[in-house]
A and B are shown apart, each in its own frame.
Chain A
């Protein structure tokens, strides 16, 4: 039962094929049986989950209809949860119990969701491996000797391993799409400001975007509809109306213009990744989509821009952890956080602001203009999500910019605040998932979801879709 996707689970609950308590127990027992191998959860909230499931069953009996009623969902551990320990996978917050819910958590609860627990991540979301967690690395369900990606690696691994029906992650630049790619699931990074950041433990405030990690594109659409919207508690949220994402508008593929950029098939890209993405694009072309080669701002500069902006904002955001109001002292930060805080402090220190932060924000303008130009010619851009397959455990050791380097293909769109989605397109010969990203202009989630959904349908009978991780 825990293998069901969100839509199937909703239907099953509605038809009374099973109860929310049964569904929740199925997820919890899968976690109990196998999470010792994956380490995808920092905290499992069994009792709260069962209580919420009982309440959901009662509401279902009364015929109440809510978008996520009785659906077990896992949440990344950087979302504040009222009365539930929230660590951001850092020992600084080892025993921190938030006295409030993040807006995303409140929205999930208001929609009737059952919260299974808090998932592992790179500490403070600093990384692309989940290996920098102070609670140990999460393993990739497809190969336990490999990394799940990150920073939302716990959410992606838990979803791929069917520990939950769906999960919530957050992306600063890649932290939803890249682990979704390495774990073979769907990950939607909404436009900056589409989903409230209130109550999310802040990393790069001009970039952070919470979003869903799911088993299907339709599930991501259902969740986005719940999560999106203006929030008085986050002044950067968009006032645009929430579209009916879950209806999945049907963009005619015959009028779709796809942009591809050779710069995104970078030197050193895994040849199997390149072949699978090009093959996937061909399938859309066969359906009538027009493919155009476009020139985009070289993604290598996005690494510099992202490193500077993100580390400056990290140094500012993590300044609040002084061990006074909550959390332990600054001596509890691990190496990666210290590196990022120190670089940010350096770059923002007197006399260096123009050279680093201001320069990076200027190049950010150029990257935004460049995407705007591209989107005059094409509707969406398609590229690999990650240039590599899931890397082995230990890959981050001694690599002082691992996260920033691994996310080269997702950084430009994050810097520009665009929306994007990772969808699985197949497996390598070694049995590791390969993901493709579809990038659209700001607030074009409907379009991106529509094309991703149609690709998923076109390929739903392909053999690789039968692959299941053996844990």
Chain B
């Protein structure tokens, strides 16, 4: 498999320079090639495990509890407006 670094960087929203693109291309391709080894393991009819201790459907009562107030929630943001987080527009105007 060949990894397409500019495409993956775009999906991951990571800014990378031309120089980084070349280094990462080589390094990530090494990793992709390395893990190919796993294909040697027969996993026919094997169920995947995502939760190692076997817990399922852990729920709690649906009750409200004290949480961060607005000031605390906004305290680490570089960009706020009237008590809200300010973000860049993601939809373009017609």
Contacts and interface: CB of A to CB of B under 8 A. Distances in A.
Given A330-B13, A333-B14, A206 B52 contact: yes
Contacts of A307: 31, 34-35
Interface string A95-115: 011011000000000000000
Contacts of B48: 358, 361-362, 364-365
A359 interface: yes
Given A99-B73, A401-B30, A304 B15 contact: no
Nearest to A305: B38
A353 to B, nearest CB: 11
A275 B49 CA distance: 36
Interface in B64-94: 68, 72-73, 75-79, 85, 87
Nearest to B9: A342
A74 interface: no
Most chain A beta-carbon neighbours within 10 Å: one of B38, B50, B51, B58: B38
A99 B52 contact: no
A362 B52 contact: no
Interface in B1-39: 1, 3, 5, 8-9, 11-16, 20, 23-24, 27-28, 30-32, 34-35, 37-39
A364 B41 CA distance: 11
Nearest to B26: A400
Nearest to B40: A301
Nearest to A97: B76
A365 B32 contact: no
Contacts of A343: 3, 28, 31-32
B62 interface: no
B8 A342 contact: yes
Given A341-B14, A365-B46, A417 B52 contact: yes
B16 A338 contact: yes
Interface size class of A (residues with CB under 8 A): 35 or more
Nearest to B15: A331
Interface string A351-389: 010011011111111101000000000000000000000
B52 A235 contact: no
B28 A346 contact: yes
Contact of B53 (A236, A322, A339): A236
Given A324-B85, A365-B49, A366-B41, A342 B60 contact: no
Contacts of A326: 76-77
A48 to B, nearest CB: 18
Contact of A400 (B31, B49, B76, B87): B31
B3 A346 contact: yes
Given A366-B46, A400-B30, 17 more contacts: A192-B52, A193-B52, A193-B55, A236-B55, A300-B37, A303-B34, A330-B15, A335-B23, A338-B20, A342-B3, A342-B9, A345-B11, A346-B28, A362-B43, A362-B49, A364-B52, A366-B41
Interface of A: 96-97, 99-100, 191-193, 206, 232, 235-236, 238, 300-301, 303-305, 307-308, 315, 319, 322-328, 330-331, 333, 335, 338-339, 341-343, 345-346, 349, 352, 355-356, 358-366, 368, 400-401, 415-417, 442
Interface of B: 1, 3, 5, 8-9, 11-16, 20, 23-24, 27-28, 30-32, 34-35, 37-39, 41, 43, 46-53, 55, 58, 60, 68, 72-73, 75-79, 85, 87
8 contacts: A301-B38, A304-B35, A325-B85, A333-B14, A342-B28, A346-B3, A362-B48, A366-B41
Q: What are the 8 A-B residue pairs with the smallest beta carbon separation, nearest first?
A: A417-B52, A361-B48, A326-B76, A400-B27, A362-B43, A99-B72, A235-B58, A345-B12
